[in-house]
A and B are shown apart, each in its own frame.
Chain A
Amino acid sequence: MGSEISVEFWVATIPFVPLLTFPIILFLGQYFNGKDWWKNILKEGGSISLMSMGIVLILTSMVVAQFIGEMHNGQGLDIIDWITFDVLRSDGMTNGVNLGFGIYIDHISLMLLFVASFLCFLINWFSIGYMNTDKINDNRNHRFYAEFLIFCSGMLGMVLADNFLWLFIFWEIMGLCSYLLIGFYYEKPSAAAAAKKAFLTTRVGDVFLMIGLIIMWNIYGSLEFDIIFGWDYFTNPVDMTLLKTSLILMFIGAVGKSAQFPLHVWLPDAMEGPTPVSALIHAATMVNAGLYLVARMFPIFIGTAGDGLVGELADVAIIIAIIGGITAFMAAGIAFVQNDIKKVLAYSTMSQLAYIFTGLGAALWFASKGKPELALFALGASLFHLFNHAMAKGMLFMASGSVIHEMHHAHHHISHGEHEGFDAQDMTNMGGLASKLPITSTAMAAGSMSIIGIPLIGGFWSKEGIIAKIWKAAIYDGGYLLFIPAILLLISAGMTGFYMSRMWFMTFAGKPKTKVAEHVHEETPWIKFPLVILTFMTLGGIVFASLHFVSWVSEGHAFHYDLIHEMKHAFLAMDKEGVIDSTFLILTWATIGLSSIIGPIIAMSLYGGNLKDGENAIPTVSWLVKLSGMVKNRWEFDNSTLANSGLAEALRRRLYFDDFYDWICIKLIVPIGIGAALFDKKGVDGVIKGIESGSQSASTWIRKLTTGSARDYIMMVALGSLIFVGLIWGMV
């Protein structure tokens, strides 16, 4: 069992703060709905949940501050024995095995703890502006905040749990909240269908995960991180095939949760939920759960390789990396043709998560090949990308929410309350918003740049690290299969440059495409603050990078690398000794060129353009608009053949995955169910009914013998006696 953390017992209280707050909101809301004080002072529960998240944020900051500098290995603390039982093995009874609950803290969980509580707080703040000013949410916002809080406690609990079983438990709790919040507008059939789809798709993954956990429990006799990570494979050899199977099954669970190919279909539909939900659950936190699970496998790979089982688990790493590569490429492709601003972001999320998966695949590859230093670097890069992506994508969703919200209001204003036929999320209705939404446009620009990987901004550092490491694994360490994700990631980098730029320019540059877009104003309170904060977080990527975030998880020298080293490393592709590797130099600049120059330029030439005459954007983005105008004038080309081609159509239909799964459900699963029900009714119960009616008719037939006539009875008695006598006679 883990070493004791004496003072830090209250770390465990973090998930309980929101857990204890949610019933208050739910019940108060149910009873005081519509009351003035409930609506205006308590913001239909928003203030209460914000307070609760504030406490969580303070606690988390204290925990992070306490641990970050001094801790190198994970620390576990057992809290309760949840289930205690005996095991009967072939060599007799083993006593007192238990599945307990406790907390486990290391750099990975600290980072995710901070990301989760920070974003929960900001998005809660944003929600008060976004949710409470919309008529459609009247009298049901308490439900939103209550479910929001259950989600937060699920996420925080998952990050802190000290074993895989409790990780899974909180994981499912998050799934439930995701279901509830996607279906928040329950009266919309599309929302109801999307909620069901999300739950069922992740459930398929979860079943595999659960089986994986059961196998893992069987291997190690425990699911606790302390025991699994500290396993000695010399003295207690394990069945490596079984371990591999279990890791792959667990990875399938991660695939479902993080919306990777082929279980990715639920994420775009999940955008039916309110925008804060998309920002928090479907971009910044819950979808990271799968990554967290895979990152948690890391010590197993290190441990097996360290105990002489080098390369045994490499297959698992390859599978993870390839799934990541395919998803990154596919999702980026589909994002090309989306016109719904939230759908673009959803596919972008999918694609970026896939980057992280590939990075983790590279990390696990190095780990299993017995190269822990490279592995730690790849792991650090992946987790740093997780951090950058969570911050940037959370902000992008909030900014998109701001755009949608203001579009909605403007439309409301113009059309005097008539709603039909206008889609406030469609980018073809927008355009030229840079002058009307200064803060939103700046935030969105910063976020997009971070996702694209414009040098020096947030995501650049981590994405560069991931691409470099997967190529390194492919080229130098003989992982030829890893060329697939390596090449796909490089291409996807350029594609990211295109679709993110496309989204920004379609929304903010050019002339307004509809009357509504002309009347947009940035006026809703509560919305701006989180955007500003996150803009600074994103732009501050360079600071985090210089803190050597990339090697955060490595031991010892976490904070000793300075900015210059990091820059040199990123732009000159130096290794530890300061030698420049020409292959990687080319690779770095190819990535930068593809993602920051070629992709955005194509997008500008297609979708850019100057604002309407006489309007000016805020200086932070006006240069972007002007640049796009210049590019468009110079290089505009006609893409209609491509846009109307079969490929584009296939991408618009999401490569037919949804159709295929729908077909399976409607043509296969439901008919089997109906057939089984019919069989049960006609077959199983039919046989019973047959016996029933048979015995009934038999008894009716026998009853006929009871004629009531004395003559018949005398006959029968005579006949019976005759037979009886005959029998006796025969026997004698």
Chain B
Amino acid sequence: MAENKTKLNDGMYVIGGLFIAISVLMFASPNMPSMENDWVTLPLIGLPILGSLLLMGFASAVPAWRKESISETIKYASLGIALIVLIITTLMMTDILMNVHWANITFNQYMYEVEYNWINSIGAEWHVGIDGLSMPMVWLTALLVPITIITTWNEKKPWYYHPLLILMGGCLIGVFVSLDFFMFYVFWELTLVPMFFLILNWGGKERKYAAQKFFIYTFTASILMLLGIITLYLLQDPSTANASITGRTFDMHDMIQNAQEQVILGNIWLGPGVQKLLFVLFMAGFLVKLPVVPFHTWLPDAHVQAPTGGSMLLAGVMLKMGAYGMFRIPISMFPYALVEFQMPLMIIGMISLFYGAWVCLGQTNLKRMVAYSSVSHMGIILLGIASLQPLGFAGAIFMMFAHGLISPMLFGVAGAFKHHYHTLEIGSMRGMAKHSPWLAGNMMFSWMGSLGLPLLAGFVAEVAVLIALWFEFGWWVIIPGITLAITAAYYLWSMQRTIFEGGENTELPKSLGDEKPRDIALSENIGLISLAILIVIFGIFPFIFFEMMSGYSSELIKQMLMDDIMRRW
């Protein structure tokens, strides 16, 4: 035990050192500008990251025997920071702060955009901004962090756990607002660190294996992406950016603009071969993150071993980083390659969707089943992209958001089940509705949400993608159709064997021993029910976000992809 604790502390110092280094880099920059009107850098990224580092540093300074006494303070402080971020992003989303109409902004135009010099010599900048694609993701992240904190209020070692969650949130927001490849990559990799520690320190029995597998998979994938970034960087004309020594820039905004100018001129930007190569490199990184079959096996392992809060954020936001990245980089920059690779993308999507659902049917572990259902649902995102229709794109983006609400609830429920019944085996018990009515209710709700029940968020995305799919591929739509039925089958079957049945004297799992089964705690219930309410709200009123997603997709296709799609017809 003692050994573990020292290890943990070492880990914390490593993270702390890393972040302090970055912060110093950031703030000690000689051209430090004023940060007026910057609603992103400090409030959304700096506050959670610095806040969590402070909290963890404080906690590590407190001697071990006194840590219990500060745990409440740290929990509330973390929750407070998370809520501040949530409030700011909500103000951004509801157009109050700067009177933004999210649905009307055009392609490659960003709100709340700020740019600071960072590493001038190589042309890397601190460049952030939000558009119709990233706004939902930023809001989702800001929303999930406090909900995760509340749901897993009673986790062990809260003095490191809860600050790690907000650290995670800060890094994720960093990914979603980055408009500079260098910064994007830094945050992309930084998100791995808190997740790695969450799995390693709060995980299950096989946590070391799972954490390593998770790290190696995603890291390898992002190395490919890094290769792509470097290639793209070097391909630039060395007189692009005067400020940097290399004469090149990492600025995403400028590069996309560059690409767009070429598209307007009717050229294939960078040439067909190079575009395809870059597309493949970037997609490789994102597809593993998404993940798709056959690179998905890290996901079930990571989820099963991860603590509840870790899986909630992992499934809720981290998987969406892959989809977000696809939209932000390969789709926005390599239109020719996207149209060329339409068919492979569709087939990969179909395989993920269909195969994932079948594998779910054969699972005996609740969390594994839910993890594979994530794989299956991520296939829908790929199908939406492959449809090359504004509706398909919007459906895919809405799927990112809807699944970002539903999957945390799924994992929250699975985690609560593990917490109260000490097992994850489906069929190890019968009649949960009698012992834990709230848990059973939440489980049923989230299961229904995931199988695409109308008036819940997932349905909107599925319908949108399927309509778009018919446009493009016609009768291929049968496969998602069958998958919908299989999805219903595995969810209903698993409910039959946990919530229902059991007769007058219900069966309890062996793992429970002599313990009496309990219902979930109030904090868990608040977290899960708030997710449920959001799922219903976005199921009934999808236009809150669908409008901006639809606007973004239309602009993207109109300005970037139209010519290449037309050429194919």
A residues near B, CB below 8 A? 30, 80-88, 90, 93, 165, 168-170, 172-173, 176, 179, 183, 186-189, 191-193, 195-196, 199-200, 203-204, 207-208, 210-211, 214-215, 217-218, 669-670, 672-678, 680, 684-685, 688
Contacts and interface: CB of A to CB of B under 8 A. Distances in A.
B477 A211 contact: yes
A675 B485 contact: no
Contact of B485 (A165, A204, A215): A204
B526 to A, nearest CB: 14
B455 A672 contact: no
A24 to B, nearest CB: 15
B481 A176 contact: no
B488 A199 contact: yes
A714 B363 CA distance: 56
Contacts, number: 163
B115 interface: no
B311 interface: no
9 contacts: A86-B554, A87-B390, A176-B453, A200-B492, A203-B488, A207-B482, A208-B481, A211-B470, A673-B362
B437 A30 contact: yes
Most chain A CB within a 10 A radius of its CB, from B297, B467, B477, B495? B467
Contacts of B499: 186
A94 B568 CA distance: 18
B496 interface: yes
Contacts of A189: 500-503
B492 A196 contact: yes
A210 B484 CA distance: 10
B310 interface: no
Interface string B443-462: 00000100001110001100
Given A85-B391, A214-B466, A214-B477, A669 B501 contact: no
Contacts of B394: 85
A86 B492 contact: no
Interface stretch (B162-170, B246-254, B332-340, B557-565): B557-565
Contacts of B542: 82-83
A332 to B, nearest CB: 30
B536 to A, nearest CB: 10
Nearest to A678: B362
Nearest to A673: B361
B434 interface: yes
B463 interface: yes
Contacts of A208: 481
A104 B466 CA distance: 26
Interface stretch (B18-26, B171-179, B266-274, B543-551): B543-551
Contact of A93 (B361, B464, B562): B562
Interface of B: 293-294, 296-297, 355, 358-363, 372, 388-391, 394, 431, 433-434, 437, 448, 453-455, 459-460, 463-464, 466-467, 470-471, 477-478, 481-482, 484-486, 488-490, 492-493, 495-496, 499-504, 506, 542-543, 546-547, 550, 553-554, 557-558, 562, 565-566, 569
A85 B455 CA distance: 19
Given A192-B500, A196-B492, A673-B358, A88 B297 contact: no
* Chain A interface SS verdict (over half): helix
Given A173-B454, A183-B500, 20 more contacts: A80-B543, A85-B394, A85-B553, A86-B391, A86-B553, A87-B391, A90-B566, A170-B454, A173-B455, A186-B431, A187-B506, A189-B501, A192-B500, A195-B500, A199-B488, A203-B485, A207-B485, A669-B489, A677-B363, A684-B297
B159 to A, nearest CB: 35
A186 B569 contact: no
A210 B455 CA distance: 15
A210 B481 contact: yes
A673 B484 contact: no
A676 B362 CA distance: 7
Contact of B297 (A188, A199, A688): A688
B388 A88 contact: yes
A500 B355 CA distance: 48
Contacts of A93: 390, 554, 557-558, 562
In this complex, the member of A30, A88, A215, A218 whose beta carbon has the largest number of chain B beta carbons within 10 angstroms is A88
A491 to B, nearest CB: 35
B362 A674 contact: yes
Contacts of A30: 437
Which has the most chain A C-beta neighbours within 10 Å: B296, B355, B454?
A: B454
Contacts of A187: 431, 433-434, 500-504, 506
A458 B454 CA distance: 37
Contact of B455 (A169, A192, A669): A169
Contact of A670 (B361, B464, B492, B557): B361
A222 to B, nearest CB: 12
A259 B477 CA distance: 25
B467 A214 contact: yes
A95 to B, nearest CB: 8
Contacts of B557: 86, 88, 93
Nearest to A183: B500
Nearest to A676: B358
A33 B543 CA distance: 38
Contacts of B488: 199-200, 203
A179 B501 CA distance: 14
Given A85-B391, A87-B389, A218-B470, A200 B485 contact: yes
A200 B489 contact: yes
B23 to A, nearest CB: 36
Contacts of A685: 297
A204 B485 CA distance: 6
Of B293, B460, B554, the most chain A CB neighbours within 10 A belong to B554
Given A30-B437, A87-B390, A675 B550 contact: no
B374 to A, nearest CB: 14
A572 to B, nearest CB: 49
A658 B330 CA distance: 50
A673 B486 CA distance: 10
A202 B293 CA distance: 30
Nearest to B363: A677
Given A172-B453, A199-B488, A672-B361, A207 B481 contact: yes
Contacts of B481: 207-208, 210-211
Contact of B484 (A80, A179, A207): A207
Contacts of B489: 200, 669
A170 B459 CA distance: 13
A176 B448 contact: yes
Contacts of B482: 207
Contacts of B437: 30
A675 B546 CA distance: 39
7 A-B pairs with the lowest CB-CB distances in the bound complex, closest first: A673-B361, A677-B362, A192-B500, A169-B454, A673-B362, A676-B358, A674-B362
A675 B482 CA distance: 18
B294 A684 contact: yes
A447 B503 CA distance: 35
Nearest to A684: B294
B505 to A, nearest CB: 9
B478 A211 contact: yes
A176 B448 CA distance: 9
Contacts of B467: 214, 217-218
Contacts of A81: 543
Contacts of B506: 187
A199 B500 contact: no
Output the residue of A84, A173, A210 with the most chain B CB within 10 A: A210
A502 B317 CA distance: 62
B490 A673 contact: yes
Contacts of B470: 211, 214-215, 218
A87 B391 CA distance: 7
A97 to B, nearest CB: 8
A169 B437 CA distance: 27
Contact of A88 (B372, B390, B547): B390
Nearest to B389: A88
A82 B543 contact: yes
Nearest to B388: A88
